Structure 1
Amino acid sequence: MDSIFKAPAPPTDLKLTAEPEHKHRRDEATNDATENPKAKRRSNNNDGGVETAEEATEPAEPDINELCRDMFDKMSVFLQGELTATCEDYKLLENMNKLTSLKYMEMKDISINISRNLQDLNQKYASLQPYLDQINQIEEQVTALEQAAYKLDTYSKKLGDKRQGARKRCFVLIY
């Protein structure tokens, strides 16, 4: 409930001084008269200090020219900044394009070297092919000899077994 019944804040526009109010009005009138003599005039009749206002006039020509000049100067600075930023962007793109083309040139050189090395390897393989064929033939012959050796071994074992069997028979017959 305390928040609902707050005391009103004192107005800030009031001038709380010990000077009489008519003196303040006279000071304000002289200030207004010095700022714009046509803006407020005191009425000659005694209406209790009622002032009349005059019609607003357009600003003087030199002020408009100065404002236009200021606007054009600021627009010039703004546009200069925009153009500078755009030029910097284009310079950055140009540098990026140059670097990219250099990288592609390096990759092209590398691929040419790889291609050349691959061709050299293919030529060396072609020159070694007769020797590789001879190695394959020798391997086949070794395999055939190995199988013949196994067959000979099994045959000799069979002969050995037959001989042992014949010897035993002969030995048994002799005794």
Structure 2
Amino acid sequence: MAATGEEAAAMDSICKAPAPPTDLKLTAEPEHRRDEATNDATEDPKAKRPSNNNDGGVETAEEATEPAEPDINELCRDMFDKMSVFLQGELTATCEDYKLLENMNKLTSLKYMEMKDISINISRNLQDLNQKYASLQPYLDQINQIEEQVTALEQAAYKLDTYSKKLEAKFKKLEKR
């Protein structure tokens, strides 16, 4: 997407930033000599450097040059390469997260399938138990009836026992008289 309007103007102003001075004079030269030196330096890139002779007691130093500004295209390319690596890493991490979620979903699905199978087996076993209980129900009813009859017979036996004890007591009483 191309920049338009204010964005383009801002980008142009960045690209056309003034270059830093390339030669620094560390001497105490008079103004006219400085102007001559800068004119010479601007006219001929391989201008003569001031010599270190003792003419007039003026000391001169060699000029200091700053490294050339790197090409803006190279910097942009480097920035885009680094952004590409960063975005690739972010996308890889996101992709790995999705793969992890997919694996977790698969495992959860398998666990639910196992639980479904277990519940189906439990349901079948419960139905079998209910059928067996239904088939045993008449026998259980008979057992309950027998138990009730035994209880009634036991009560009758207790009554008979108490009655026989009373009779025995009366018989002994009659014998003693």
TMscore range, shorter length: 0.5 to 0.7
Alpha-carbon separation, structure 1, partners of 2:102 and 2:125? 35
**1:88-132 alpha-carbon deviations (Å, 9 max, x no partner):** 000000000000000000000000000000000000000000000
Q: Residue 48 of structure 1: SS of its match in structure 2? A: coil
C-alpha contact 1:32 1:39 (8 A) present in aligned 2 = yes
**1:31-63 alpha-carbon deviations (Å, 9 max, x no partner):** 998999799999999999999999999998971
- Seen in structure 2, the aligned counterparts of structure 1 residues 54 and 168 have a Cα distance that, compared at 3 Å, is same
The structure with the largest alpha-carbon Rg is: 1
C-alpha contact 2:51 2:60 (8 A) present in aligned 1 = yes
Alpha-carbon separation, structure 2, partners of 1:160 and 1:91? 96
- Seen in structure 2, the aligned counterparts of structure 1 residues 147 and 46 have a Cα distance that, compared at 3 Å, is same
Q: Which has the higher contact order (CA 8 A, sep 6+)?
A: 2
Alpha-carbon separation, structure 2, partners of 1:66 and 1:3? 18
Q: Residue 60 of structure 2: SS of its match in structure 1? A: strand
Where does the alignment leave 5 or more consecutive residues of structure 2 unmatched? 1-10
- Seen in structure 2, the aligned counterparts of structure 1 residues 145 and 46 have a Cα distance that, compared at 3 Å, is same
**1:133-170 alpha-carbon deviations (Å, 9 max, x no partner):** 0000000000000000000001100110110011001x
Alpha-carbon separation, structure 2, partners of 1:53 and 1:18? 10
C-alpha contact 1:38 1:54 (8 A) present in aligned 2 = no
Where does the alignment leave 5 or more consecutive residues of structure 1 unmatched? 170-175
* Identity across matched positions, percent: 94
C-alpha contact 1:40 1:54 (8 A) present in aligned 2 = no
Which segment is superposed worse, 94-103 or 12-21? 12-21
Q: Residue 43 of structure 1: SS of its match in structure 2? A: coil
